[in-house]
Amino acid sequence: MMSSHQIISRILINKRLKEIIIPTGEKIILRSAKKEDAESVCAHKYITSEESYYMARYPEECEHDVSAIETRLSDIEKHPQNFSVTAFKDGKVIGDLGVTQIRNHIKFRHRAYMGISIQKKYWNCGLGSQMVDIAVKQAKENGEGEGVKLIQDYNQLYLQIHIWCLDE
C-alpha cells in the first residue's frame, strides 16, 4: 500500500488530478498544465501580472504567443525534473506553479527555481500552500536524495510558505 506522500507525489508523475475544496466551497482541480492549456495559462499570467507587484514580470512583458507557451508546456511535460502544478476552476487556470532545474551539472541537480502565481480572488484560501506542498514532495521525489532547495526573491509571505513546507 502506498503512503499518502507517495500518492500525492505521484499525482504529477502519472498525470492524475487532485481535487480540493477551498473555504468558499469551490472545487479546484490541481494537475500539470498541458499543451492544450496554453491559452488559459497565457491569460492567467497576464491577470496575475496586473494584480500583483510581486510578480517577476509586468503585464506588458507577458508572453502572448500561445504557440510558444504550448512548446514550453510540452517541453516541461517531457522533462524528467521540471514540472508544474496548475490550479483550474471551471477549466480556467487560476494558479500556476513551476519548478525548473537550475542546471543539469552534478552539483546543481538537486536545485530548482520555483515560481508561483495565484489570481487575487483566490489568495488566502490555502491554495498556494496546497500547490507548494505538492511541488516540494514532487521535487524531493525527482531529486538526487539531497532534498529540494527553493530559491525565493521578493515576497516575504511567499518565503514563509516555502520555509513552512520545508520544515515539516
Whole-prediction pTM: 0.76
For residue 2, is pLDDT > 70? Answer: no
Q: What is the pLDDT of residue 160?
A: 53
Q: What is the pLDDT of residue 156?
A: 53
For residue 23, is pLDDT > 80? Answer: yes
Q: What is the pLDDT of residue 163?
A: 46
Mean pLDDT of the chain: 76
Q: What is the pLDDT of residue 162?
A: 46
Total domain count for the chain?
1
**Mean pLDDT of the region 12-21:** 68
- With a pLDDT cut of 90, the percent of the chain lying above it is 30
Least confident segment among 16-30, 39-53, 135-149 = 135-149
Q: Which domain holds residue 83?
A: 4-166
Judge contact between 134 and 18, C-beta under 8 A. Answer: yes
CATH code: domain of residue 8: 3.40.630.30
pLDDT in tens, 77-87: 888 778 899 99
